[in-house]
Amino acid sequence: MAAAMTTSEEPARLESEEDILTIGTLAPRHTPGLAPSDIDELRIACAQVLPSEQGPRGAGGLDKLQRFAERAAQAGADVVVFPEYFLTGATHEAWKDVRTRSSASRSASAEAREEQTSDFLKTISTVARRNDIDIVAGTIVELGSHHVPHRLDDVKDDGNNNSSNNNNEGPPSAHDDKLFNTAYYVDRHGHVAGRYTKKRLWHPERAVLSPGHELLHHAPPPSTFEITTRRGRTLRAGILICWDLAFPELFREMLFKADDGSTSLQGPDVVFAPICWYATDCGRSGLRWSTTGEASLLDGMCQARAIENECVIAMTNVAGKAPPASQEAWLAWDGDKGDEPWAVGRSCVCAPFVGCMQRVEGTDEALLLANVDLRCLDEARQVYRCRYDLALERDD
């Protein structure tokens, strides 16, 4: 078993709208010289929420997912994005519990294990269908043996670059015991349209988690997938997770040469980035230099990646404990002594030319709304020509 929660119960449907702090709007953006065009809009909601306190069982997180998905759908969003570790919890103990609870299921049939691991996807699919909205369900910590019907067969590597299909029979391989951090994109029809496993692990994660691998735990290139807005516009999307944002080459892996004779590389129109990022991630060393360093890093990376890759970036961070007002409290913080991390928030939607369209400035739970006019991508690709230049380099 590899999913980070096992309940198959569906979250209760809201009878009335609950109070959810909403920031931004999905009203059409006015651009001089351009008439509003529904077909050219991508309406994004980012749910900046706390990770589930119920850890890998995830029931509390699923209730919250239902509330925020319903509110986003009522506002008219095409997709709602949840943060990293939203359903799993953001602790080593919660991640390790995935492996512990799975040990009993190894003696069960492959069919039984498969049913257990797909429970959380069934629940999220129900929420997506019920609310007619796409869902980026944060991330789930799962075992390498995880296998559900929509995936390609897992591949085992014998260490000699030889691989074979994994039919979930026999004793677990070394890969089966590894824990991975994976995000799923579930469309409004309840289908898994895309998935991605985090490649660049933040340093404390490496004691428990393993990075995604092109052969063992990653879709074949191009690592993007198609999504469709409520108004029928088909787009290409990608997912990166948290520290992945710091590595431009991971965005480059999403670009590919099309067969239509285009002189530019093709790639994502939008990249969704669920993250779990704190103001104190820089440690005491970083805080001595600046207490706003992590906020500045997030703001800069999201805007830069949008321009470099001529795409929309939709980044959703976790909510959490607000930082203190005094400099003395900042300098006294010590994660090595068990001090709770301070949140940074900053969930945002960025696009070329426009920059940051909307941002959650605070650290509270909130629903961020942004309406992107996708025509900015066409014009940015004509002006910046980043994908065109990259195509020339690959031809060389």
Distance from C-alpha of 241 to C-alpha of 221, rounded to nearest angstrom: 17
pLDDT given for residue 219 in this prediction: 46
Q: Residues 102-125: pLDDT tens digits?
A: 665 554 444 444 444 478 899 999
Q: What phi and psi values does residue 202 have, to the nearest 5 degrees?
A: -70, 150
CA distances from 372 to 36, 97, 121, 240, 396 (A): 11, 40, 28, 19, 35
Does an H or E element contain 271, and which? strand 270-274
Percent of the chain with pLDDT over 70: 79
Residue of 228, 217, 156, 149 whose CA lies nearest to 182: 217
DSSP assigned state of 105: G
**Higher-pLDDT residue of 281, 152:** 281
Strand partners, 359: 348
**Two structure tokens written together for 58:** 């995830």
Task: Report yes or no: 85 and 139 within 8 Å, Cβ to Cβ.
Answer: yes
**Which pLDDT value is given to residue 262?**
79
Q: Under a CB-based contact definition with an 8 Å cutoff, are residues 48 and 344 in contact? A: no
Closest CA to 95 of 63, 52, 136: 52
The tokens 């928030």 sit on which residue? Answer: 345
Question: What's the pLDDT score for residue 7?
Answer: 34
With CA atoms as reference, report the closest residue to 24 among 86, 84, 75.
75
Q: Which two tokens stand for residue 387?
A: 């994908």
pLDDT for the residue 308: 97
Per-residue tokens: 53: 């306190």
Pairing of strands 179-186, 140-143: antiparallel
**DSSP state for residue 20 in the 8-state scheme:** -
Q: So what's the pLDDT on residue 99?
A: 74
Percent of the chain having pLDDT more than 90?
65
Diameter of the chain measured on Cα atoms: 65
What pLDDT does residue 270 have? 99
pLDDT given at position 148: 39
Taking the C-alpha atoms of residue 90 and residue 96, their distance in angstroms, rounded to an integer, is 11
pLDDT at residue 9 greater than cutoff 50: no
| Residue located via tokens 């994976």 | 182
Query: Could you tell me which residues are beta bridge partners of residue 227?
Result: 235
Please state the separation of Cα 303 from the chain's center in Å.
17
pLDDT in tens, 15-71: 344 689 999 999 998 899 999 999 999 999 999 999 876 554 555 788 999 999 999
- 3-state SS string for 157-211: ECCCCCEEECCCCCCCCCHHHCEEEEEEEECCCCCEEEEEECCCCCHHHHHCECC
**φ, ψ of residue 117 in degrees (nearest 5):** -70, -20
For residues 66 and 13, the answer to whether their CB atoms sit within 8 Å is yes
What was the pLDDT predicted at 95?
A: 74
Percentages (nearest 5) of helix, strand, coil residues in the chain: 30, 20, 45
Query: Is the pLDDT at 309 greater than 50, yes or no?
Result: yes
How many Å apart are CA 186 and CA 203, to the nearest integer?
Answer: 29
For position 200, what pLDDT does the model report?
95
For residue 295, pLDDT over 50 is answered with: yes
Interval 76-85 mean pLDDT: 98
Q: What distance in Å separates the CA atoms of residue 318 and residue 294, rounded to the nearest whole number? A: 14
CA distances from 245 to 58, 149, 241, 299 (A): 26, 29, 7, 11
- In this structure, which amino acid lies at residue 320? G
- Amino acid 18: pLDDT: 60
pLDDT at 260: 75
Domain ranges of the chain: 22-395
From CA 342, how far away is CA 286, in angstroms rounded?
Answer: 14
Phi-psi region of 346 (alpha: psi -120 to 50; beta: other; left: phi over 0): left
**Chain mean pLDDT for the chain:** 83
Residue 35 has which token pair?
């008439």
Domain 22-395 fold is Nitrilase/N-carbamoyl-D-aminoacid amidohydrolase (3.60.110)
**Cβ neighbours of residue 214 under 8 Å, at least 6 residues apart?**
none
- Interior/surface letters 173-206, b for 16+ CB within 10 angstroms, e for the rest: bebbebbbbbbbbbbbebebbbbbbbbbbbeebe
